[in-house]
């Protein structure tokens, strides 16, 4: 019996993901809804109701916890919890149209869930489903939000690793799994943009190429969405960004992470990753499209075509290659590495602006830092009055003067918009793993 319930809920969450990707009028959604309804009809054939609870990040029914299902559908589970849905009950008599309306309701933006979720169902005329949330404290809510976003990042990292490994082994991949994973990140960016970007900029304990590739995909999707690209285009850009450095996975780590100056031969080897990557992604044009090929080949070409690979005729970078190039260098410079000193955000900015108009498209570079800010959200900074603050939000009109929260001295703790308060300014950046660590904890 529980197998039927597990299947029904799995099909329901798959239907939700399909609605988020394609909308509720697309044939793909109707096909998914048919499967979900058939599964619920089967599960309710010999019982009056099905009650599913979300306990932590696991799904539970009666006395059983669906551990495997929880791992598989973690992003969808987090999505429901963000909408204050932790308990779902489905009753015999549920119709397919009613189930479709339910999916339409829960696929709405988070802002629509300011009222009780059950009220939304009642307004939609849904009588055979009820939903709700266990009450928790405000502090628990904040901890849960951070935990959920970290879980989303880690889950996406796992999926990315699996897909990239499959590509490297020349195995068939399901592009839908990859798109669903990146789609969850897009949703995360729209719901809690600052927190997710903070994870991408601050999570530096792992320097594997996979982490860099995912971070570049996150930055590229955020950047392209702010530039006005449609969601489907943002998803394609994310996939292209994800595979931009796949050629490097064929190059010796010893060469890639060499602390000394590279020999000419070693540098030539590293530069070959653009061609290796493009050749490799050609094998996946049918499933992933041509954009990953183009971006793999062009992301080091540079705005003025002075980069590599060297071409017999000058050609302008594709706009997506130019976007990924900026995100690639930004993440590489920001990333904590054992073989170089950490670069502070203002130094990263200065280094990149030296290549404005030559290495990077000048308009895109200005836009990137306008959206990201000079000091990324979560940065620990020392102020001109010797107090310590955390950056909470960027100011588009002046990237050097973000919105901050003073956390030390604790008796001076307050929120300050530096754009409105000219008495304070940021003096320097504090490394969050060294001198800034204790202050970072104060802002949790």
More confident residue, 188 or 406: 406
Tell me: pLDDT of 101 over 80. yes
Q: In what order do the strands lie in the sheet with 403-408?
A: 414-417, 403-408, 388-393, 380-383, 426-430
Tell me: pLDDT of 362 over 90. yes
More confident residue, 370 or 189: 370
Which residue, 100, 109, 112, is CA-closest to 18?
Answer: 100
Query: Across residues 269-295, what is the average pLDDT?
Result: 90
Q: What is the dihedral of CA 40, 42, 45, 46, to 10 degrees?
A: -100
Q: Which helix (H) or strand (E) holds 336?
A: none
Can you tell me the distance from the alpha carbon of 20 to that of 302, in angstroms, rounded to the nearest whole number? 35
pLDDT band at 401 (very low <50, low <70, confident <90, very high): very high
Which residue, 170, 157, 194, is CA-closest to 75?
Answer: 157
pLDDT band at 359 (very low <50, low <70, confident <90, very high): very high
Can you tell me the distance from the alpha carbon of 91 to that of 167, in angstroms, rounded to the nearest whole number? 43
Q: Tell me what percent of the residues of the chain surpass a pLDDT of 90.
A: 35
Angle between helices 138-168 and 209-227 in degrees, nearest 10: 110
Q: Give residue limits of the domains in the chain.
A: 2-135, 198-372, 380-442
Helix (H, G, I), strand (E, B) or coil at 132: strand
Helix (H, G, I), strand (E, B) or coil at 415: strand
Can you tell me the distance from the alpha carbon of 344 to that of 328, in angstroms, rounded to the nearest whole number? 16
Q: Lowest-confidence range among 149-163, 165-179, 339-353?
A: 149-163
User: What CATH number was assigned to the domain covering residues 198-372?
Assistant: 1.10.3210.10
pLDDT band at 338 (very low <50, low <70, confident <90, very high): very low
- From residue 145, alpha-carbon distances to 6, 61, 84, 124 in Å are 26, 24, 12, 28
Instruction: Kindly give, in sequence order, each residue whose CB lies less than 8 Å from that of residue 100, ignoring residues fewer than 6 positions away.
Output: 24, 33
pLDDT the model gives residue 151: 64
pLDDT band at 69 (very low <50, low <70, confident <90, very high): low
Q: Lowest-confidence range among 97-111, 233-247, 336-350?
A: 336-350
- How many other C-beta atoms are found inside a 10 Å radius of the C-beta of residue 313? 5
Q: Which helix (H) or strand (E) holds 282?
A: none
């Amino acid at each position: 019996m529980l197998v039927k319930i597990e299947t029904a809920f799995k099909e329901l969450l798959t239907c939700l993901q399909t609605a988020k990707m394609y909308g509720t009028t697309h044939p793909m959604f109707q096909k998914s809804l048919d499967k979900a309804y058939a599964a619920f009809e089967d599960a309710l054939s010999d019982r009056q109701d099905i009650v599913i609870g979300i306990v932590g990040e696991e799904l539970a029914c009666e006395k059983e916890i669906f551990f495997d299902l929880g791992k598989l559908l973690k992003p969808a589970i987090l999505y429901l919890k963000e909408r204050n849905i932790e308990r779902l009950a489905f009753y015999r008599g549920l119709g397919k149209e009613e189930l479709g309306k339910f999916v339409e309701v829960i696929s709405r933006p988070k802002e629509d869930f300011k009222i009780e979720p059950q009220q939304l169902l009642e307004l939609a005329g849904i009588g055979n489903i009820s939903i709700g949330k266990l009450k928790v404290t405000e502090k628990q809510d904040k901890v849960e939000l951070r935990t959920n976003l970290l879980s989303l990042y880690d889950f996406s990292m796992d999926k990315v690793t699996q897909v990239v490994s499959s590509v490297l082994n020349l195995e068939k991949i399901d592009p839908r799994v990859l798109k669903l994973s990146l789609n969850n990140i897009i949703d995360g960016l729209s719901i809690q943009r600052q927190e997710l970007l903070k994870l991408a900029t601050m999570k530096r304990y792992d320097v594997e190429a996979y982490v860099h590739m995912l971070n570049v995909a996150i930055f590229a999707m955020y950047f392209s969405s702010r530039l006005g690209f449609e969601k489907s285009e943002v998803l394609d850009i994310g996939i292209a960004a994800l595979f931009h450095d796949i050629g490097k996975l064929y190059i010796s780590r010893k060469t890639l992470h060499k602390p000394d100056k590279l020999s000419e031969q070693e540098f030539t080897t590293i530069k070959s990753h653009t061609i290796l990557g493009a050749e490799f992604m050609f094998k996946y044009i049918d499933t992933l499209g041509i954009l990953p090929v183009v971006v793999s080949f062009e992301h080091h070409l540079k705005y003025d075509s002075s980069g590599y690979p060297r071409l017999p005729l000058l050609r302008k970078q594709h706009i997506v290659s130019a976007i990924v190039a900026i995100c690639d260098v930004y993440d590489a410079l920001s990333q904590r590495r054992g073989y170089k000193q950490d670069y502070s955000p203002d130094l990263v900015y200065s280094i990149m602006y030296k290549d404005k108009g030559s290495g990077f498209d000048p308009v895109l570079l200005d836009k990137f830092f306008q959206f990201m800010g000079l000091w990324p959200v979560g940065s620990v900074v020392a102020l001109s009055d010797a107090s310590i603050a955390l950056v909470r939000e960027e100011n588009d009109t002046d990237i050097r003067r973000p919105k901050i929260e003073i956390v030390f001295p604790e008796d001076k703790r307050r929120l300050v918009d530096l754009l409105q308060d000219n008495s304070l300014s940021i003096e320097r950046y504090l490394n969050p793993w060294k001198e800034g660590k204790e202050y970072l904890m104060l802002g949790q």
